[in-house]
Structure 1
């Protein structure tokens, strides 16, 4: 039998190399997706900390959070409220609110 010189297809080495590149690409994309998910999770936790601090200033703290409100004297006798919260995962937020009474004419 005479071997053909114009054979079509890929050799075993080419196929294995392509499979290696494909596997490495998939692994890199999976790692990237994991890093993105962790970033979104941290951002969500920080937003939750700010939201809880706002609710704390409104008098509605969330359960399971460390929360503290301090009141200090502000300018012109207006009370200055400082709300500090710490999430169960350790995210911190602090909001400061100056509450001055509305004076009518």
Structure 2
């Protein structure tokens, strides 16, 4: 009686190992994509609020420096001489974060 594995057993073990590794690689890829989506989601909302904060201080937004990201800031007349400012950020994966804020000039007193 010989000790060891037969060729068939070794091939089956190799096949099971390969299938397991493929499953783990797909799981890792999905996990990585989820982290990237979450990071872009958080960065987009942070950038929207930063755009609005910058606009309220300087009267204009700032240019996005991240490759593939798009930013847009618009303003429209609002109540009592204020402006309604809207900031919109689009991530490379296509997620859009948009927020608006009413910004009033502190030197102008509102008329009642």
Same fold per TM (> 0.5)? Answer: yes
Superposition map of 1:57-68 within 5 A:
57-59=52-54, 60-61=61-62, 62-63=64-65, 65-68=69-72
State the Cα distance separating 1:66 from its structure 2 match.
Answer: 3.0
Aligned residue number for residue 10 of structure 1: 5
* TM-score, length-scaled by structure 2: 0.64
Q: 1:84 aligned to 76, 88, 107, which one? A: 88
Give deviations 1:3-37, integer Å, cap 9, x for gaps: x3xx4322221111011100110111111111211
Gaps of at least 5 residues in structure 2 are: 55-60, 107-112
RMSD over aligned Cα atoms: 2.8
Give deviations 1:58-82, integer Å, cap 9, x for gaps: 12532364323334566x7465432
Aligned residue number for residue 69 of structure 1: 73
Aligned residue number for residue 20 of structure 2: 25
State the Cα distance separating 1:96 from its structure 2 match.
Answer: 2.5
